[in-house]
Every structure is written in C-alpha cells, then in structure tokens.
Chains A and B, each alone.
Chain A
Amino acid sequence: MAKRIDVSDLHIYYGNFLAVENVNVSIEPRSITALIGPSGCGKSTFLRSLNRMHEVIPGARVEGKVVMDGVDLYGSDVDPVDVRRQIGMVFQRPNPFPTMSIYENVAAGLRLNAKRMKKSDLDDLVERSLKGANLWTEVKDRLDRPGAGLSGGQQQRLCIARAIAVEPDVLLMDEPCSALDPISTLAIEDLMTELKERFTIVIVTHNMQQAARVSEQTGFFNLNGVGQPGRLIEFNPTEKIFSNPDQKATEDYISGRFG
C-alpha cells in the first residue's frame, strides 16, 4: 500500500551543525521521486530523516514535521521501529550481513523480527525478491553461500532484495545504482517502475538520465558554500525540471554549467 509523505519546515541537524534547512515537499504515492544535487548537499541526510534513520547517529536530530498519511512520524507516540518497518531503505554502500547466507540475507527482515512463516512461503518470498532485484539467476545455485562473497554490484542488488522482501509502503534508495553496470542499472530501473505500482519510491541519484528516465517528480538540492546548510532549491515535475526549470541554479546544474 503506497503512502503519501508531506514534509514541512524540516530542519536537520548533526549536533549543532545544520545540515539541511527548511524543506517543504509532498511526495506522491505510487510514483518515483528523484533527488539530485551536488555531493555533500544533504540528499542522504534528508532521505534518512524520512524513515527516522537519521536519529540513529549520536547527536543527530530534526525539527519540523514529516507526515505520512496523516500521522506525524516524529510525533511523541510514534515508535521509530514501526516507521522503519513501513519505510524501507537501500543504502549508498552495500551492507549485507556478513554472518548470513544469501538466502538468510533476503529473509533477514522476517527472521530478525522473529516472524513465523512456512518454509515454502519463505522460499517463494526469497525467490520473488531476488528475481525482483534481478539477482536470482546469478545466485539461485548458491543461496547458502555467504552474502559477503558476492561482487559489489551483486551485494547491492542483494540489499535491494532484502529491502523489498519486507514489503514496505515506501522505499528509499540512496544511489542504488552507483555500483552497478548498465544492464543491472536498467534492471533496477525496470524494477522501480514495477514497484511504483505498489510502493512510493524516493531515489537519490547522481545520474541525470536516470532521474529523467524513471521519476515523475524531481527535487534539486544545493548549498551555497562549505559549512552552509543544504536547501531544496526546486521541486517540480521531472519534465519541467529537465526542460524548463524555474531556478537558474537548477538549469546550471543539469546542463553541467555548475559553480
């Protein structure tokens, strides 16, 4: 079940350092929202604040509201663990569990939460998730081998399989394709297009073509200088951003005339 996320007046801090300033945005359900912007402008930080992964870092905190289907995720009665069950995440760097096999890695979301499931159902789920992440054919004969023994790109797809296996409502992906070859990248993009029927997807990417290909909405983050907070400069439908952006900075960034 896809859900809508409304962010208002969001400030994100690391200790005293204001990393991202005043974000106001609505993320539509059943669509892909792409976030672009130069390195260090706070895309990952913003993404992590959507499923309350930000506060895992000591001293990190946020101010403002993130409302998902009418519920403020930062409300005092909301359990961050519940939030993360509904909003899955794929990280910038692949991080499979080194003690677990490929199979166990995919099943980790259920196993670690001690959810009971019939063996055959679990097998189905693992197969479906691995197929979804375009990894099945490569690993189907060695599901019991360690997940850390895969190549970097395979590990990243394993992490995607792990994230979609728990069937979240929203899927956050932080540069999921930065370690992948063009074929796997296309497969992931197809996967995203398929998943958006059911999920809300937010993706951070440095690849403009990718943003243009897959997303409906695009947000451009930028920062004025080192030590300054990042800001959401422009948020518009992708076609508009790439053909006729409102802001000069966006146009400069997209056309490569940056700085």
Chain B
Amino acid sequence: MSQTSTAPAPTGSSAPTPRRGERARRVPNWAPWAAFAGAAVVVGALWPLLDLNIALFVLYTVVLGTLAVYLLTRSVEGSRQAIDRLVTCLVVSAFGLAMVPLVSLVWEVVSRGIGRLDGTFFNSSLVGIVGEGGGAYHAIMGTLIITALTTLISVPIGLMTAVFLVEYARGRLKRAITFLVDVMTGIPSIVAGLFAYALFAIFLGPGVRLGIMGAIALSVLMIPVVVRSAEEVLKLVPNELREASYALGVPKWRTIVKVVIPTAIAGLGTGVTLAIARVVGETAPLLITLGITTATNLNAFDGRMATLPVYAYYQLTQPGVPPQFATDRAWTAALVLIILVMGLNVVARLISRFFAPKSGR
C-alpha cells in the first residue's frame, strides 16, 4: 500500500522519520462536496438516457459521490482515511434515509391540514354540519380530558410501582412484577380497549360508552411505560445518596420522598411526558370505549365523547357528500395531533433541562 505515513517510527531507528507537524498530503475540505456535486452533474446529464426519477437520481448521486470520495481519498491520503470517509458517507446516508419518512409525513400532513387550521376549527363542533365548515372543538377537548384523566390514573400507579420495584421488592416478587409489566408493555391497544369495554359492560350493560372507560383503557397502555421509564431513572440515583440520608437517621420513606425522587425528578418528568405523548394518539381503544359524537361533551362520566384520532378516523371513513370538507377536517385533526405530540416532546426536554440536578459552580 502506498501510504504517506505521519506516524512516528519506532524509537531507536536512526532513519529520517517524518516529524510531527510536517503535514502529509491532505484532501482539501471542500473536495468531498465537490465530488458529490460532480456526481450530481454526471447523473443529471444521464437523466434522459436512463429515464430517471427524483428518487433514483438521488440514489445514483449518493452512490457515485461516495465512490468518488473513497477513491480520491485513497489515492491521496491512504486507505485508513479513505475508509473513515467511506463510513462517514454511509452513516450520513443512513441518517438521510431515516429522515425520509418523517419529513415526507410531516410535509404531507402540514400541506393538507394547514388549510383548515383556522379559528372555526378550534371553536366549533360538528353539530348540524353536513358539508363545509365545522370544527373539532369537541374532539380537542375530548382528547385533553381523556389524556388528563389517563395521566391522573397512570402516573401515581406507575410511579409507585416503580418505587416499589427499585426500593423495596426483592427476589422472586420483583422478577414476577417486572415480567408482568413487560407483558403489559406488549398488550395490543385494541385488547386494552376490549378489556375496558368488557369491564364496564359487566356493570352497565352492553353498548355502554363513557369517557372514563377510554381513560382506563389508555391507562392499561400507559402504566407499563411509566413504570419502565421511572424504574430506569430511579435506578440511576446513586446508592451513596440513599446511604447518606440513612446515616443522618432519616427513615426510608422520607429518603425516597425527599432525596431519591427529587434527584430523579427530571428523568421522571421526561418519562411521564413521553408516556403521555405515546397514548395521546391512540385510536383503537377509544373507538370501542368512547365512540364518537358531533356535539361537545365535557363530562367523562356521561355518554360518548369525541377525541382527535377517532374524529380523524370517522371524518376520513364516513365523509358524506361531497367528501372534500370532511377529508380536509381529518387532515387538520391529524395536524393538531402531531402538534400536540411535538409540544409534549418539547415540554419533556424543558423539564429535563430545568429540573436536572445543578452542579454549576
């Protein structure tokens, strides 16, 4: 291999070795970009010949550009640097590939949903609407109420389970609970819905639809997520802090409440927020337990409620004639849902930023 080496030769050799600071030949920084630009030009020139489309164009450009960068680097800098560049190209390409579905999904939802993202959408329901107009006020409120109820049920149960697992449970009991939580994580959401439905049907007869049923179904999905994330975070709290607290004569429960949980609060908050984001878009269980309405119902203990995912589902599948207006509303509902989830993710980041234990000097 013809390699211009900068590595110092083994000590003791009297042969003239390249000194530190004496630079080997380097490919200039702009060269890889130039290689890709060149590749794009070449592939572009071949477009009519090969009958390309945009996806193939990008694919060929990336392959050709990567090859060019590799060969160029190899001839100038040597094989180690060439492999470094090759892997860099591969990693960046993989990242680009992963971004494709995300970007195209967001693009699609935004471009189709932005049209109806207006005041009416946020402050009117669907009562008496056949064609144009109408909104999703009732569905937005429904989603907020159901999600709040779900959080209210899941967070205390989930957190306490996690505290029990980390601080108290030992041996077989701990393994059993961990196993059950794992199983719960894998429950299909429709099964959670059927569970809640069956549970309430026992007491209130078949065909029952209540907001609280949906909240319970979603809790079945959310509790294991909260438990797992909280458990991981609580395990990260160093044992030394617990011991420091015990050594001051602080009882165990106070240590947990005043030392362990405050130390982990950032992670706990983030975990809970992400768990909420996970259930806020659930459709299947709500379809069974809440049904859908056109009117606003803010009482989770009385009758059907609308929620955004179910709303979008019905607007899309039963649009009426002409279908255009309902389809538009469905896309806007999807857009609102995405904004909600993104908002929750931002909140999660802010929580972990603000509550993180400070070590600043």
Contact = CB atoms under 8 A, between A and B. Distances in A.
Q: Do A and B come from one complex?
A: yes
Interface of A: 51, 53, 56, 58, 81-82, 84-86, 88-89, 91, 93, 95-99, 108-109, 111-114, 145-146, 148-149, 159, 162-163, 166
Contact of B259 (A56, A58, A89, A112): A112
B269 to A, nearest CB: 14
Interface string B233-257: 0000010111111111111001100
Given A112-B254, A145-B361, A146-B358, A98 B263 contact: yes
A153 B259 CA distance: 22
18 contacts: A84-B247, A91-B243, A91-B244, A97-B244, A99-B262, A108-B248, A109-B248, A112-B254, A112-B259, A113-B248, A113-B249, A113-B250, A146-B359, A148-B358, A148-B359, A149-B359, A162-B244, A166-B249
Nearest to A150: B361
Contact of A112 (B258, B359, B360): B258
Nearest to B355: A99
Contact of A53 (B247, B255, B259, B262): B247
Contact of B243 (A88, A95, A109, A162): A95
Nearest to B262: A99
A163 B247 CA distance: 8
A86 B248 CA distance: 9
A97 B241 contact: yes
A82 B248 CA distance: 10
Nearest to B249: A85
A241 to B, nearest CB: 28
Contacts of A84: 246-249
Contacts of B359: 98, 146, 148-149
Given A53-B243, A85-B249, A97-B244, 9 more contacts: A56-B246, A81-B250, A95-B238, A98-B263, A99-B263, A99-B265, A112-B245, A148-B357, A149-B361
A93 B243 CA distance: 11
A98 B243 CA distance: 14
A56 B243 contact: yes
Contacts of A53: 243, 246-247
B357 A98 contact: yes
Interface residues of B, number: 26
A91 B241 contact: no
B26 interface: no
A111 B255 CA distance: 11
B326 to A, nearest CB: 52
A146 B357 contact: yes
Contacts of A56: 242-243, 246
Nearest to B357: A98
A20 B203 CA distance: 62
A159 B248 CA distance: 11
B172 interface: no
A93 B239 CA distance: 12
B170 interface: yes
A51 B243 CA distance: 12
A112 B248 contact: yes
A109 B254 CA distance: 11
Contacts of B240: 91, 93, 95
A95 B241 contact: yes
A166 B245 CA distance: 12
A81 B251 contact: yes
Contacts of B249: 81-82, 84-86, 109, 113, 166
A171 to B, nearest CB: 11
A87 to B, nearest CB: 9
Contacts of A162: 244, 248
A114 B255 CA distance: 12
A112 B358 contact: no
Contacts of A109: 248-250
Contacts of B357: 98-99, 146, 148
A172 B314 CA distance: 70
Interface string B142-178: 0000000000000000000000000000100000000
Contact of A146 (B244, B246, B360): B360
A97 B238 contact: no
Contacts of A82: 249
Contact of B247 (A91, A99, A113, A148): A91
A162 B243 CA distance: 13
A172 to B, nearest CB: 8
Contacts of B259: 97, 99, 112
Contacts of A98: 241, 263, 357-359
A37 B249 CA distance: 28
A166 B249 CA distance: 9
A81 B251 CA distance: 6
Interface in B124-142: none
| A-B residue pairs, 10 tightest by C-beta | A85-B249, A98-B357, A95-B240, A89-B247, A109-B248, A84-B249, A148-B359, A149-B361, A112-B250, A146-B358
A88 B248 contact: yes
